[in-house]
Amino acid sequence: MKKGLYLRIAIANIWKNKQTYLPFLIASVMLTFTFYSFSMIATDKGLSQMHGGESFAAVLGFGMIVVGIFTAIFIFYANSFLIKRRKKELGLYSILGMEKRHIGRILRYESCFCYLVSMVLGLGLGALLGRLLFMLVKLAMRCDITLSGSFSGSSALITAILFLALYAVLIVYNSIQVHTASPVELLRGGQTGEKESKSRWILTIVGLITMGAGYYIAQKVNNPVSAIALFFVAVVLVIIGTYCLFIAGSITILRLMRKKKSYYYSPKHFITISGMLYRMKQNAAGLASICILCTMAMVTIGTTVSLYNGTEGMLNNYYPYDMFYSFKDEDSRDKLLEFSENAAKENNVTIKDFASYYAYTETIYLLDGRVMNETEAESLETELDFYDNLRDIQIMTLDSFNRVQGLNETLADGDVLVYCDKDLNSLTVNDVTYNVRKIDKPPVRLTGSVTAVYGELLVVVKDMDTLEQMRIKNVRYVNDYNYCTIWNLSGAQEDIEAYSVEMAQSKLGLTMSSLNKTNLRQEWYMMHGGFFFVGIFLGIIFLMATAFIIYFKQISEGYQDHDRFVILQKVGTSKKDVKATIHRQILTVFALPLLIAVCHVAGSLHMMTKILMLFGLMDIPYIALNSFMTAFIIAALFGLMYLRTAKTYYKLVKF
Amino acid sequence: MAMLEVNNVKKIYTTRFGSQKVQALSDVSFSVEEGEFVAIMGESGSGKTTLLNLLAALDQPTGGEIMLEGRKVSGIPESELAAFRRDHLGFVFQDFNLLDTFSIKDNILLPLVLQNRSVKDMEAALAPLSEMLSIKELLSKFPYEVSGGQKQRTAVARALITKPRILLADEPTGALDSKASGKLMNLFSDINEKGQTMLMVTHSAQAASYATRVLFIKDGEVFNQLYRAESTREQFYQKILKTLTVLTDGGEQA
């Protein structure tokens, strides 16, 4: 009987507060749906059987972690907001004679209700839209695979458990809140006055330092590998900096503006500055969150779209030729080539641009023109520029080089031809120093060079003897796949694919190393498609959260502002001035986070391009374009929200 | 010429969907001379606040006219209204209407800032006022840090700082305890004695007894008026109470 009463009160509460609870529920449902979807796709049987399916699953797994963390933060933020708004109501219950444990019980029921709704609707959506999502995944991966697309019980269970844990923590947190607060405190709610605190200066300085450090790191990183390592450091620094500067820096600046009397006491600035000060004190954290979320959305969407759309270009960059094989001896090479020719004939594929050559490749550490092997370089690994000095050295004979490149170069004894991203005067390998002659025109790229990650170093030597002499001593893994062949293919797309599959499956019992661009393309699209899918999904989630926060800010501020603007009009502010003030204020709420987010994106570009280089994406303007296109779209969405908000505000202000 | 003239003013409110009409003021006429302190009394719902809103040009009368120093208030174009209100009228409200975003000082200076006056002018105007209203020590505080009486004195300072032709007060003691009310009304008398024309709407006989003249409104019309003349405040208070009793009895008979 009694239990039923509290349950009824709980449900009635949610209904009464639907203006705030509804968006919260929608967000919770969407997050449930997203988490479930990622898990369902990642564990799909059809996917795991696919070539490259594992990398896609790994990307989705990463996405799941991000969504999980994000959900935790978001639900807590939203909850604190809801509780803050409802403190008055809870205080009233307390004064009407309800004990704290009863209030706690009501809150528990409410949370349980939200949890159940999230699960039922979120998982229901997942079951309904599962097939549609799989179709999108297929589209993103550009391949025809059979994905089951049925409801996944295990994914639903994982989702249910994760959210149960989150809501459980929420319930404990709310109980503590209720138990530690006195009714009077609850009644007063969020009404706390302005407290002058000296820590603002400290916070401002901390903010400036962390923000500066974050930007500095992002600009100074020169190598993709260190970029990945420092990426999270920079992100955390910038996030801390953003919060500190929004919370303390903004107020410090506004205070300084207020101190300058001739500036402050003018009709244009008076109301705006004081209004902003008041608002910043309460909402700086919210604005900072909006800023961070916008940045995240822009970076995520910008990079994943770049990666996905740049796949073809990256593929060509990595693998200049359709097929690349390297062998330990000529015999194996010839056997494979024979097989290849037959396979080509069978599949109506023409082989072209064929070339074969002798080359030796190794990853080395290059310091002042001296080549070190990995054991020597190990002690330097802690140096900041370690990765900057790593090179993929490729040594070829002059004979091979001239043939493949169609050139007619000559070499004197003790001379080597070198093409390198760094200026070298001499080259020392195995303690022998060679004179360097630079190759001015970049040579045709032959192999799948990893030059995107490490710098390039092509060395052309006079003859085989010199080449053998140059083999790096004391390496752990001896690369003796020196007989290389490359060729391109022409023919119908499906013929080329059939040929590629046949080539990939037939090993002929040979020892060889091979790269097959057609198969790689599939694999890459799997992975990049995964990133693309997850990126867009996450981007939308981030934007949704942003919209949610802005919505809540407007609700909480709308009525407060209404009172203020009515007073302003009563004491003789014209409607026009009031409108202008409203415009300025709302514009700040929308524009400030967005502007700073764009700054963050611009600041992150250098680092992001370095990281994307790991994937072989070199097209920096393209990445920038995508990021700013995203920014533009977000700005347009914000613009629409701004117009709507401003309109609602005018209505509120009319009296 | 009277400072303020109200001639046959009528105000009819139409409900939202236009189905019902409510007559708030049927026919109100009176005038206020320069230097007078007039209190308007009436029960709740008698149209006091409506009348004040009309005087303040916050609302337009349905009929009749209001003249301030010979200028027709309802004829002022919308674009000049805010400036008119700011330059010629001062307001004190029941719920103070101070802005939480401003310090006490900035709340008082607000109208001057809107008039785009120099900082020097502002300080010069603020000093004597804050002295007179004894809020000098509070200037750097914020509204939520001071008492109700202090808030209302701040509102009075804000109303007076522009040196308005007439000060309009809407239930200024409504949210104050009796001690703070007495203090405020004494201040009002002092201000009036210095030559400030004032018009106050109230339902407190105590507050009204500080005025030089009291108008009684009933059912949207001026029912009666009393002059204080040479009587003491206590005597005037008794007179007001008597009139109020008649007013109520009359209501019952009608």
Q: Rounded mean pLDDT of B189-215? A: 92
Mean of per-residue pLDDT scores for chain B: 87
Provide the pLDDT confidence category of residue A47 given band limits of 50, 70 and 90: confident
**Domain-located, residue A277:** yes
pLDDT recorded at residue A274: 85
Interface test mutation site (partner B, options A261, A265, A653, max chain B beta carbons within 10 A): A265
Pairing of the two strands B213-218 and B37-41: parallel
pLDDT greater than 70 at residue B64:
yes
pLDDT recorded at residue A449: 52
**B114 and A577 in contact by Cβ < 8 A?**
yes
Are residues A176 and A222 both part of a single domain?
no
**Domain-located, residue A15:** yes
Cα gap A648→B16, rounded to integer Å: 19
The CA–CA distances, whole Å, from A47 to A148, A270, A500, A505, A522 equal: 9, 62, 21, 20, 13
Per-residue pLDDT tens over the stretch A63-94: 888 888 888 888 888 887 787 777 777 777 77
Provide the pLDDT confidence category of residue A183 given band limits of 50, 70 and 90: low
pLDDT greater than 50 at residue B249:
yes
**Domain-located, residue A81:** yes
Are residues A297 and A375 both part of a single domain?
no
pLDDT greater than 60 at residue B24:
yes
**A277 and B114 in contact by Cβ < 8 A?**
no
Looking at the complex, report in whole angstroms how far the Cα of residue B109 sits from the nearest Cα belonging to chain A. Answer: 9
Contacts of B110 in chain A (CB under 8 A): 270, 571
- Determine what percent of chain A is predicted with pLDDT higher than 70: 91
Are the C-beta atoms of residues A506 and A364 closer than 8 Å to each other? no
**B106 and A571 in contact by Cβ < 8 A?**
no
Provide the pLDDT confidence category of residue A194 given band limits of 50, 70 and 90: very low
pLDDT greater than 90 at residue A160:
yes
pLDDT recorded at residue A193: 47
Are residues A76 and A11 both part of a single domain?
yes
Are residues A49 and A187 both part of a single domain?
yes
Cα gap A588→A582, rounded to integer Å: 10
Closest CA to A217 of A196, A195, A198, A232: A232
**A265 and B144 in contact by Cβ < 8 A?**
no
| Complex ipTM more than 0.85, yes or no | no
Per-residue pLDDT tens over the stretch A629-644: 888 888 888 888 788 7
pLDDT greater than 70 at residue A359:
yes
pLDDT recorded at residue A230: 83
Are residues A554 and A409 both part of a single domain?
no
**Domain-located, residue A416:** yes
Q: Tokens in use for B196? A: 């400030």
Are the C-beta atoms of residues B181 and B6 closer than 8 Å to each other? no
Q: Rounded mean pLDDT of A514-521? A: 83
**A572 and B79 in contact by Cβ < 8 A?**
no
Looking at the complex, report in whole angstroms how far the Cα of residue A78 sits from the nearest Cα belonging to chain B. Answer: 26
Q: Last residue of some domain: A161, A192, A223?
A: A192
Q: Last residue of some domain: A192, A223, A246?
A: A192
pLDDT recorded at residue B157: 93
Are residues A26 and A141 both part of a single domain?
yes
pLDDT recorded at residue A451: 46
Q: Rounded mean pLDDT of A560-587? A: 80
Chain B residues within 8 Å of chain A (Cβ atoms): 56, 58, 78-79, 81-83, 85-87, 89, 91, 93, 97-102, 106, 109-111, 113-114, 116, 119, 122, 142, 144-145, 158
Per-residue pLDDT tens over the stretch A451-501: 456 677 888 888 888 888 888 877 767 777 888 888 888 888 888 888 888
Q: Which residue of A has its CA nearest to B159?
A: A571
pLDDT greater than 70 at residue A406:
yes
pLDDT recorded at residue B238: 93
**Domain-located, residue A220:** yes
Instruction: Give the residue, A387 or B228, on which the prediction is more confident.
Output: B228
Are residues A601 and A649 both part of a single domain?
yes
Q: Rounded mean pLDDT of A171-195? A: 67
pLDDT greater than 70 at residue A320:
yes
pLDDT recorded at residue A238: 92
DSSP codes, A155-198:
HHHHHHHHHHHHHHHHHHHHHHHHHHS-HHHHHHTT-------T
Cβ count near A73 (within 10 Å): 11
**Domain-located, residue A433:** yes
pLDDT greater than 80 at residue B254:
no
Residue A395 has φ and ψ, to the nearest 5°, of -110, 130
Q: Rounded mean pLDDT of B158-178? A: 90
Q: Which domain holds residue A252?
A: 197-318+518-655
**B86 and A193 in contact by Cβ < 8 A?**
no
Are residues A156 and A221 both part of a single domain?
no
Q: Which residue of B has its CA nearest to A278?
A: B101
Most confident of A114-118, A334-338, B10-14: A114-118
Are residues A118 and A233 both part of a single domain?
no
**Domain-located, residue A509:** no
Q: Rounded mean pLDDT of A286-298? A: 87
Contacts 24+ apart (CB under 8 A), A346-350: A346/A502, A347/A491, A347/A495, A347/A496, A347/A498, A347/A499, A347/A502, A348/A491, A348/A492, A348/A495, A349/A489, A349/A490, A349/A491, A349/A495, A349/A496, A349/A499, A350/A489, A350/A490, A350/A491
Are the C-beta atoms of residues A510 and A367 closer than 8 Å to each other? no
Provide the pLDDT confidence category of residue A159 given band limits of 50, 70 and 90: very high
**B109 and A265 in contact by Cβ < 8 A?**
yes
Provide the pLDDT confidence category of residue A188 given band limits of 50, 70 and 90: low
Lowest mean pLDDT among A423-427, B3-7, B180-184: A423-427
Q: Which of A265, A278, A574 shows the shortest C-beta gap to B113? A: A265
Contacts of B116 in chain A (CB under 8 A): 266-267
pLDDT recorded at residue B105: 92
pLDDT recorded at residue A52: 66
Are residues A12 and A160 both part of a single domain?
yes
Q: Which residue of B has its CA nearest to A575?
A: B82
pLDDT greater than 90 at residue B211:
yes
Are residues A58 and A110 both part of a single domain?
yes
- Determine what percent of chain B is predicted with pLDDT higher than 90: 37
Specify the pTM: 0.75
Cα gap B114→B127, rounded to integer Å: 19
pLDDT greater than 80 at residue A356:
yes
What is the number of domains present in chain A? 3
The CA–CA distances, whole Å, from A619 to A6, A227, A305, A461, A536 equal: 61, 17, 13, 32, 20
Are the C-beta atoms of residues B37 and B198 closer than 8 Å to each other? yes
**Domain-located, residue A528:** yes
Are residues A362 and A477 both part of a single domain?
yes
Q: Last residue of some domain: A169, A192, A215?
A: A192
